[in-house]
Amino acid sequence: MRKKSIRAVFPGSFDPITNGHLDVINRGIKLFDKLIVAVGRSPIKNPLFTPEERIEMIAELIADMPGVSVESFDGLMVEYAAEKKADVILRGMRSLTDVHYEFKLAMTNRSVAGIETVFVMTSAQYGFTSSTLIREVASLGGDVSKLVPENVYERLQQRLKKVKSKK
């Protein structure tokens, strides 16, 4: 019997992508045949990087990962997942706080679109990281070099210098 090819979408803002996100991607490629890292364009958030810049950074990081791609999307993630013929949504879990939010989101996605969500726990060393926290700490001069990939750290430093020079 032939094994079914399973396609997953890993959605997020990835502003910026963190080592925790990379941890989830590395776990995801062990579980699924195809993994699409889907960079959301949220009208609510005030991003530091454009979607195109986030895609560039992620593309550099996944270049040697067969079966992994990166794209951006607008609108409802479940509609994007359906358009991409995804079998599941991949989500990373960091803490008990994530469980409550992600559970509601997964139940809604299944109810609205019939798509399942697969959760993976991030490694312990990334359990406290978030893009928001990293942006905040870095903007105040804190060292986040161990929390993001090197290419992302360099771009983060450059962007924050540019932002500060405009003030």
Catalytically active residues, by annotation: 21, 45, 94, 131
As a whole number of angstroms, the distance between CA 41 and CA 74 comes to: 5
Q: Which residues contact 35 (CB under 8 A, 6 or more apart)?
A: 7, 8, 9, 10, 25, 28, 29, 67, 68, 69, 90
CA terminus-to-terminus distance, the chain: 63
Q: Which amino acid appears at position 48 of this protein?
A: L
